Amino acid sequence: MVFASLEFLTLFLPIFFAFYFLTPSRFRNHTLLIGSWLFYAWWTPKYLLLIIALTLVTWLAAILIDKSSSEKIKTRTMAAGILINLASLAWYKYANVVVQSLNDLFGSSDQPLIVWQMVYLPIALSFTVLHATSYLVDVRRGIVQAQYRFIFFSAYIAMFPHLIAGPIVRYKVIEKELRERFFSADEFATGVRRFMIGFAMKVLIADPLSPLVALVFKETNPSLIDAWTGCGAYTIQLYFDFAGYSLMAIGLGLMLGFKFDPNFNNPYLAVSIQDFWRRWHMTLSSWLRDYLYISLLGGNRSGQTRTYINLMLTMAIGGLWHGGESWNFLIWGIIHGSALSIARAYSNRGYTMPDFLSRLLTLLVVMLAWTVFRASGFSAALTMWGGQFGLHGVLMGDAVSLALRPTIYVSCAVGIMCIIYPSMKIAKTGWGIFGSNLWRAIWPVLAFAYALIVLTGQASPPFLYFQF
């Protein structure tokens, strides 16, 4: 079950809110936890046991850290809790690709080195592990106090708005709200508005681009126009799909009384690759910076060479976190690590370039990296890159031409306008009726209503970050 589905909108959400707001305030975390576990079990009940087990391990480890008077025991307990979480993630995420790589290297199609049954990645596992890791580190540092009530801590980990695909919510952000929160009509209305906008972003912009993207990335010899059409469509699709989900999650959090950190800030308007990572998946970027780049690797404290190595390692690990179906995500991380290192070296030498050129170059690097991120394997990525550099011809192929239906043109046009609009003066001054308070109030309702009509006629594809 996903947010952009009729079963969520017409069944789960109304029933959950009815129980949630009828529950006395002191028991609402219980209702939230039960609802979140039911939301997860809707997909597959057996993996709910894994999420509960990791929650229990993390909860007990934090209590042991809090109760221990030995700094060594505190550190070892933290490390043990983190390793258990990471080991579960590594097994489900990377076992298949490691075995496949070994069979490719040392086996054959007739006689594989390892006879293997596919391991399926449970949804929400990646984000659960990040939440658990940051919580244990923060308890060890004394940034937050260990939560002794299992129901409260489990509600934090399993909270259905951010459970599946973020945003990553650090415990300290909602620690007070877990203890006590009050209903606010204004915040609830703001949450509804954000949810409606995110829903429209997903259904009206991201979803119509999905068939075109799938078609182009399966092409055996995409032309220059084909490849860039597919890459451009995926660039728009991924943003509006993931940013739309994040906005829906933030909106749901507000409806429940929680304030989540924002996750996107017009990333395709970034003036540099560093700026891109301050704007894209912001909760992940700050997590990688605080818990990996600075805390574990040392950041930029040990000279320039070590700084470049740390940047590469951070982004490579960030790439590995994204997926284990192939090594493409690792390559994607290395591309971004290399870009960050080159940009840092360029800046340290005192070089500059005009903002327009810098923005264009940044977007080009991001889009080329999205190619390997989306491709089914490295050979498929090489094929797409070949097309993007004109190695398979220039003109648009018949298959892509036939796939460009009017809805795709509209989705692309609206998506591009929404991306460019924040940089325009009109975004601040308004434009006739479109700058009025009335229009700002009603357009999310109209967009949501139209998206709901569209959704009734077709199933919405799963969110792209649904099973990362």
Burial (CB < 10 A; 0-12, 13-18, 19+), residue 325, is: middle
As beta bridge partners, residue 393 has 391
Distance CA 220, CA 384 (A): 9
- Residue 446, token pair as written in the block: 């109209």
DSSP-assigned letter for residue 393 = B
Cβ density class 64-102: b for 16+ within 10 Å, e for less: bbbeeeeeeebeebbeebbebbeebbeebbbebbebbee
322 is annotated as an active-site residue = yes
Residues 6+ apart with CB under 8 A from 412: 209, 232, 233, 236
Spatial CA neighbour of 272 closest among 349, 348, 366, 335? 366
Q: How many CA atoms lie within 13 A of 106 on its CB side?
A: 7
Annotated catalytic residue within 162, 281, 322, 336 = 322
Asked whether 166 and 263 are in contact (CB, 8 A), the reply is yes
Distance CA 73, CA 246 (A): 38
Asked whether 202 and 245 are in contact (CB, 8 A), the reply is yes
Q: How many CA atoms lie within 13 A of 54 on its CB side?
A: 28
Q: Which residues are tagged catalytic? A: 322
